[in-house]
Amino acid sequence: IWEKGLVEAMNAADQASRAKSDFLANMSHEIRTPMNGLLGIIDLLESTNLNRIQKQYVEIIKNSGNSLLSIIRDILDYSKIESGKIDIQPVPFDPVEELKDQIKILSGLAGKKKIKLELTYGEFEKTILEGDKGKINQVLLNLIGNAIKFTPELGKVGVRMELNPVDDFFHFLSFSVADSGIGIAPEHLEHLTDPFYQVESSNTRTYQGTGLGLAIAKKIVELMGGQLEIESEVGKGSVFKFSVIVRKVDQNSVPQA
Ligand code: ADP
Protein backbone atom coordinates (compact mmCIF):
# COMPACT_ATOMS: atom_id res chain seq x y z
CA ILE A 1 0.00 0.00 0.00
CA TRP A 2 2.81 2.33 0.94
CA GLU A 3 4.60 1.65 -2.36
CA LYS A 4 1.41 2.21 -4.31
CA GLY A 5 0.96 5.58 -2.58
CA LEU A 6 4.52 6.51 -3.48
CA VAL A 7 4.04 5.63 -7.16
CA GLU A 8 0.81 7.65 -7.25
CA ALA A 9 2.52 10.63 -5.62
CA MET A 10 5.39 10.40 -8.12
CA ASN A 11 2.98 10.26 -11.04
CA ALA A 12 1.11 13.27 -9.71
CA ALA A 13 4.38 15.18 -9.27
CA ASP A 14 5.41 14.22 -12.81
CA GLN A 15 2.11 15.43 -14.18
CA ALA A 16 2.34 18.70 -12.23
CA SER A 17 5.86 19.28 -13.53
CA ARG A 18 4.72 18.62 -17.11
CA ALA A 19 1.76 20.97 -16.66
CA LYS A 20 4.17 23.66 -15.41
CA SER A 21 6.48 23.18 -18.41
CA ASP A 22 3.52 23.28 -20.82
CA PHE A 23 2.21 26.44 -19.19
CA LEU A 24 5.61 28.13 -19.44
CA ALA A 25 6.03 27.06 -23.06
CA ASN A 26 2.59 28.38 -24.04
CA MET A 27 3.02 31.61 -22.16
CA SER A 28 6.47 32.27 -23.64
CA HIS A 29 5.15 31.60 -27.11
CA GLU A 30 2.25 34.00 -26.60
CA ILE A 31 4.57 36.76 -25.38
CA ARG A 32 7.09 36.23 -28.16
CA THR A 33 4.69 36.96 -31.01
CA PRO A 34 3.62 40.50 -29.99
CA MET A 35 7.18 41.23 -28.82
CA ASN A 36 8.48 40.49 -32.32
CA GLY A 37 5.80 42.84 -33.66
CA LEU A 38 6.95 45.62 -31.32
CA LEU A 39 10.59 45.15 -32.26
CA GLY A 40 9.70 45.28 -35.95
CA ILE A 41 8.04 48.67 -35.47
CA ILE A 42 11.00 49.90 -33.41
CA ASP A 43 13.27 49.03 -36.38
CA LEU A 44 11.02 51.12 -38.62
CA LEU A 45 11.04 53.99 -36.14
CA GLU A 46 14.83 53.85 -35.98
CA SER A 47 15.09 54.46 -39.70
CA THR A 48 13.02 57.67 -39.55
CA ASN A 49 14.30 61.18 -39.00
CA LEU A 50 15.02 61.35 -35.26
CA ASN A 51 17.01 63.78 -33.17
CA ARG A 52 19.84 62.63 -30.89
CA ILE A 53 17.72 62.23 -27.75
CA GLN A 54 14.95 60.40 -29.60
CA LYS A 55 17.56 58.05 -31.10
CA GLN A 56 18.88 57.27 -27.61
CA TYR A 57 15.36 56.49 -26.36
CA VAL A 58 14.65 54.19 -29.31
CA GLU A 59 17.97 52.42 -28.70
CA ILE A 60 17.01 51.80 -25.04
CA ILE A 61 13.59 50.41 -26.03
CA LYS A 62 15.27 48.18 -28.60
CA ASN A 63 17.85 46.81 -26.13
CA SER A 64 15.19 46.16 -23.49
CA GLY A 65 12.97 44.45 -26.06
CA ASN A 66 15.81 42.24 -27.22
CA SER A 67 16.74 41.28 -23.62
CA LEU A 68 13.13 40.38 -22.94
CA LEU A 69 13.02 38.31 -26.10
CA SER A 70 16.16 36.39 -25.14
CA ILE A 71 14.76 35.70 -21.65
CA ILE A 72 11.56 34.39 -23.25
CA ARG A 73 13.58 32.27 -25.68
CA ASP A 74 15.51 30.73 -22.76
CA ILE A 75 12.32 29.93 -20.83
CA LEU A 76 10.75 28.42 -23.93
CA ASP A 77 13.84 26.30 -24.64
CA TYR A 78 14.13 25.13 -21.06
CA SER A 79 10.48 24.17 -20.76
CA LYS A 80 10.66 22.31 -24.08
CA ILE A 81 13.66 20.34 -22.84
CA GLU A 82 11.95 19.63 -19.49
CA SER A 83 8.86 18.25 -21.18
CA GLY A 84 10.91 16.19 -23.63
CA LYS A 85 9.69 18.20 -26.63
CA ILE A 86 13.08 18.82 -28.13
CA ASP A 87 14.77 16.50 -30.54
CA ILE A 88 18.02 16.31 -32.41
CA GLN A 89 17.84 17.17 -36.09
CA PRO A 90 21.02 16.09 -37.86
CA VAL A 91 22.02 17.87 -41.08
CA PRO A 92 25.30 17.92 -43.01
CA PHE A 93 27.56 20.86 -42.12
CA ASP A 94 31.08 22.17 -42.47
CA PRO A 95 32.34 22.55 -38.86
CA VAL A 96 35.04 25.11 -39.70
CA GLU A 97 32.63 27.39 -41.58
CA GLU A 98 30.05 27.13 -38.80
CA LEU A 99 32.56 27.94 -36.07
CA LYS A 100 33.91 30.91 -38.03
CA ASP A 101 30.33 32.21 -38.41
CA GLN A 102 29.69 31.98 -34.66
CA ILE A 103 32.95 33.82 -33.94
CA LYS A 104 31.91 36.51 -36.43
CA ILE A 105 28.56 36.95 -34.65
CA LEU A 106 30.33 37.57 -31.34
CA SER A 107 33.36 39.51 -32.57
CA GLY A 108 31.52 42.85 -32.20
CA LEU A 109 30.73 42.10 -28.56
CA ALA A 110 34.37 41.09 -27.90
CA GLY A 111 35.62 44.15 -29.79
CA LYS A 112 33.59 46.51 -27.58
CA LYS A 113 35.52 45.19 -24.56
CA LYS A 114 38.83 44.96 -26.49
CA ILE A 115 38.86 41.22 -25.80
CA LYS A 116 41.05 39.09 -28.05
CA LEU A 117 38.87 36.31 -29.46
CA GLU A 118 41.10 33.53 -30.76
CA LEU A 119 40.06 30.49 -32.74
CA THR A 120 42.07 27.28 -33.24
CA TYR A 121 41.12 23.92 -34.69
CA GLY A 122 42.73 20.58 -35.48
CA GLU A 123 42.80 18.80 -38.85
CA PHE A 124 39.53 19.68 -40.58
CA GLU A 125 40.35 20.13 -44.23
CA LYS A 126 37.10 19.83 -46.21
CA THR A 127 35.44 17.72 -43.50
CA ILE A 128 31.67 17.47 -43.70
CA LEU A 129 29.91 16.21 -40.59
CA GLU A 130 26.36 15.25 -39.83
CA GLY A 131 24.88 16.56 -36.59
CA ASP A 132 22.45 19.12 -35.22
CA LYS A 133 24.46 22.22 -36.17
CA GLY A 134 21.75 24.58 -34.88
CA LYS A 135 22.00 23.16 -31.37
CA ILE A 136 25.80 22.94 -31.46
CA ASN A 137 25.87 26.64 -32.44
CA GLN A 138 23.39 27.51 -29.69
CA VAL A 139 25.66 25.95 -27.04
CA LEU A 140 28.75 27.58 -28.53
CA LEU A 141 27.15 31.03 -28.66
CA ASN A 142 26.11 30.65 -25.05
CA LEU A 143 29.57 29.60 -23.83
CA ILE A 144 31.51 32.16 -25.89
CA GLY A 145 28.95 34.85 -24.96
CA ASN A 146 29.43 34.02 -21.25
CA ALA A 147 33.22 34.00 -21.65
CA ILE A 148 33.09 37.53 -23.12
CA LYS A 149 30.54 38.69 -20.52
CA PHE A 150 32.57 37.49 -17.53
CA THR A 151 35.97 38.66 -18.82
CA PRO A 152 37.12 42.22 -18.12
CA GLU A 153 38.36 44.57 -20.83
CA LEU A 154 41.57 43.63 -22.68
CA GLY A 155 41.18 39.98 -21.66
CA LYS A 156 41.42 36.87 -23.83
CA VAL A 157 38.93 34.24 -24.97
CA GLY A 158 40.19 31.17 -26.83
CA VAL A 159 37.95 28.72 -28.67
CA ARG A 160 39.31 25.35 -29.79
CA MET A 161 37.64 22.63 -31.86
CA GLU A 162 38.79 19.03 -32.36
CA LEU A 163 37.49 15.87 -33.99
CA ASN A 164 38.27 12.43 -32.58
CA PRO A 165 36.99 9.06 -33.81
CA VAL A 166 34.75 6.95 -31.57
CA ASP A 167 34.44 4.04 -34.00
CA ASP A 168 34.20 3.48 -37.77
CA PHE A 169 31.09 5.66 -38.05
CA PHE A 170 30.99 8.16 -35.23
CA HIS A 171 33.27 10.94 -34.04
CA PHE A 172 33.43 13.19 -31.02
CA LEU A 173 33.34 16.84 -32.05
CA SER A 174 34.85 18.64 -29.07
CA PHE A 175 35.04 22.30 -28.15
CA SER A 176 36.75 24.20 -25.39
CA VAL A 177 36.07 27.84 -24.54
CA ALA A 178 38.74 29.32 -22.28
CA ASP A 179 38.63 32.83 -20.84
CA SER A 180 40.91 35.00 -18.72
CA GLY A 181 37.87 36.26 -16.79
CA ILE A 182 36.66 36.55 -13.20
CA GLY A 183 36.56 32.77 -12.63
CA ILE A 184 34.18 30.75 -10.45
CA ALA A 185 34.72 29.62 -6.83
CA PRO A 186 34.69 25.80 -6.27
CA GLU A 187 31.50 25.91 -4.15
CA HIS A 188 29.56 27.34 -7.12
CA LEU A 189 30.95 25.02 -9.82
CA GLU A 190 28.62 22.05 -9.26
CA HIS A 191 25.53 24.32 -9.25
CA LEU A 192 26.26 26.32 -12.40
CA THR A 193 24.08 24.11 -14.59
CA ASP A 194 21.10 24.25 -12.18
CA PRO A 195 18.26 26.28 -13.73
CA PHE A 196 18.31 29.96 -12.69
CA TYR A 197 21.58 29.57 -10.77
CA GLN A 198 23.81 32.64 -10.86
CA VAL A 199 26.93 33.27 -8.79
CA GLU A 200 25.90 36.84 -8.05
CA SER A 201 22.58 37.32 -6.27
CA SER A 202 20.11 39.32 -8.32
CA ASN A 203 20.12 42.42 -6.07
CA THR A 204 23.87 42.98 -6.31
CA ARG A 205 24.16 41.87 -9.90
CA THR A 206 26.46 43.53 -12.43
CA TYR A 207 25.88 41.01 -15.22
CA GLN A 208 22.62 40.53 -17.07
CA GLY A 209 21.13 37.09 -17.68
CA THR A 210 18.55 34.54 -16.64
CA GLY A 211 20.77 31.80 -15.24
CA LEU A 212 19.15 29.39 -17.72
CA GLY A 213 21.89 29.37 -20.37
CA LEU A 214 24.12 26.69 -18.86
CA ALA A 215 21.16 24.55 -17.74
CA ILE A 216 19.98 24.53 -21.37
CA ALA A 217 23.50 23.96 -22.72
CA LYS A 218 24.07 20.95 -20.44
CA LYS A 219 20.79 19.28 -21.46
CA ILE A 220 21.37 19.89 -25.17
CA VAL A 221 24.91 18.50 -25.01
CA GLU A 222 23.64 15.40 -23.18
CA LEU A 223 20.93 14.93 -25.82
CA MET A 224 23.73 14.85 -28.40
CA GLY A 225 25.58 12.11 -26.49
CA GLY A 226 28.16 14.31 -24.80
CA GLN A 227 29.00 16.07 -21.56
CA LEU A 228 29.65 19.61 -20.41
CA GLU A 229 32.69 20.06 -18.16
CA ILE A 230 33.76 23.16 -16.29
CA GLU A 231 37.13 24.05 -14.76
CA SER A 232 37.76 27.40 -13.17
CA GLU A 233 39.91 29.43 -10.84
CA VAL A 234 38.79 32.68 -9.22
CA GLY A 235 40.63 35.66 -10.69
CA LYS A 236 42.32 33.57 -13.40
CA GLY A 237 39.54 32.38 -15.67
CA SER A 238 37.43 29.42 -16.72
CA VAL A 239 37.40 26.64 -19.28
CA PHE A 240 34.10 25.20 -20.51
CA LYS A 241 34.43 21.99 -22.54
CA PHE A 242 31.89 19.88 -24.36
CA SER A 243 31.81 17.06 -26.92
CA VAL A 244 28.96 15.84 -29.08
CA ILE A 245 28.67 12.74 -31.20
CA VAL A 246 28.60 13.39 -34.95
CA ARG A 247 28.94 11.31 -38.09
CA LYS A 248 31.55 11.97 -40.73
CA VAL A 249 29.93 12.21 -44.15
CA ASP A 250 31.76 10.14 -46.71
CA GLN A 251 32.32 12.65 -49.48
CA ASN A 252 32.77 9.93 -52.07
CA SER A 253 29.12 9.04 -51.54
CA VAL A 254 28.05 12.64 -52.31
CA PRO A 255 27.36 12.92 -56.05
CA GLN A 256 29.83 15.30 -57.71
CA ALA A 257 28.43 18.28 -59.62
P1 ADP B 1 23.47 33.77 -17.25
O2 ADP B 1 24.74 34.02 -18.00
O3 ADP B 1 22.25 34.09 -18.03
O4 ADP B 1 23.47 34.34 -15.87
P5 ADP B 1 24.23 30.98 -17.36
O6 ADP B 1 23.43 29.76 -17.02
O7 ADP B 1 24.78 31.08 -18.73
O8 ADP B 1 23.30 32.20 -17.02
O9 ADP B 1 25.41 31.09 -16.32
C10 ADP B 1 25.12 30.92 -14.93
C11 ADP B 1 26.14 31.62 -14.07
O12 ADP B 1 27.41 30.98 -14.21
C13 ADP B 1 26.39 33.08 -14.46
O14 ADP B 1 25.43 33.95 -13.91
C15 ADP B 1 27.77 33.28 -13.85
O16 ADP B 1 27.67 33.54 -12.47
C17 ADP B 1 28.46 31.93 -14.05
N18 ADP B 1 29.28 31.88 -15.28
C19 ADP B 1 28.95 31.36 -16.48
N20 ADP B 1 29.95 31.45 -17.37
C21 ADP B 1 30.97 32.05 -16.71
C22 ADP B 1 32.32 32.42 -17.08
N23 ADP B 1 32.81 32.20 -18.31
N24 ADP B 1 33.08 33.02 -16.13
C25 ADP B 1 32.60 33.24 -14.88
N26 ADP B 1 31.36 32.92 -14.46
C27 ADP B 1 30.55 32.32 -15.37
For ligand 1, the distance from its centroid to the CA atom of residue 110, given in whole angstroms, is: 16
Closest CA to 173 of 104, 122, 97, 106: 122
| Cα–Cα distance measured from residue 97 to residue 118, given in angstroms and rounded to the nearest whole number | 15
**Per-residue pLDDT tens over the stretch 116-163:** 999 999 888 788 999 999 999 999 999 999 999 999 999 999 999 999
- ipTM over 0.90? The verdict is yes
**Please, which residues have CB within 8 angstroms of residue 67's CB and are 6 or more apart in sequence?**
208
Q: Which atom of ligand 1 is nearest to the CA of 197?
A: 10
For ligand 1, the distance from its centroid to the CA atom of residue 57, given in whole angstroms, is: 29
For ligand 1, the distance from its centroid to the CA atom of residue 198, given in whole angstroms, is: 6
Q: Which of 180, 200, 214, 234 most suits a substitution to test ligand 1, by most atoms within 8 Å of the C-beta?
A: 214
Q: Which long-range contacts (CB under 8 A, 24 or more apart) does 95-99 make?
A: 95/121, 95/124, 95/127, 95/129, 95/161, 95/163, 95/173, 96/121, 96/124, 96/127, 96/161, 98/133, 98/136, 98/137, 99/140, 99/159, 99/161
Ligand 1 site, CB within 6 A: 142, 146-147, 150, 179, 181-182, 184, 192, 197-200, 209-215, 238
For ligand 1, the distance from its centroid to the CA atom of residue 37, given in whole angstroms, is: 30
For residue 241, CA distances in Å to 97, 111, 212 come to: 20, 23, 18
pTM over 0.90: no
For ligand 1, the distance from its centroid to the CA atom of residue 131, given in whole angstroms, is: 26
**Per-residue pLDDT tens over the stretch 88-127:** 999 999 999 999 999 999 999 999 999 999 999 988 878 8
Q: Which atom of ligand 1 is nearest to the CA of 183?
A: 25
Of all protein residues, the one whose alpha carbon is nearest to atom 14 of ligand 1 is 198
3-state secondary structure labels for all residues of the chain? CHHHHHHHHHHHHHHHHHHHHHHHHHHHHHHHHHHHHHHHHHHHHHCCCCCHHHHHHHHHHHHHHHHHHHHHHHHHHHHHHHCCCCCCCCEEECHHHHHHHHHHHHHHHHHHCCCEEEEEECCCCCCCEEECHHHHHHHHHHHHHHHHHCCCCCCEEEEEEEEEECCCCEEEEEEEEEECCCCCCHHHHCCCCCCCCCCCCHHHCCCCCCCCHHHHHHHHHHHCCCCEEEEEECCCEEEEEEEEEEEECCHHHCCCC
For ligand 1, the distance from its centroid to the CA atom of residue 18, given in whole angstroms, is: 27
For ligand 1, the distance from its centroid to the CA atom of residue 62, given in whole angstroms, is: 24
Residues of the chain whose pLDDT is less than 70?
Answer: 1, 201-206, 251-257
Q: Which of 179, 198, 207 most suits a substitution to test ligand 1, by most atoms within 8 Å of the C-beta?
A: 198
Other residues' Cβ atoms within 10 Å of the Cβ of residue 257: 3
Of all protein residues, the one whose alpha carbon is nearest to atom 9 of ligand 1 is 211
What does the pLDDT read at residue 12?
84
For ligand 1, the distance from its centroid to the CA atom of residue 21, given in whole angstroms, is: 23
Phi, psi for 111 (deg, rounded to 5): -60, -40
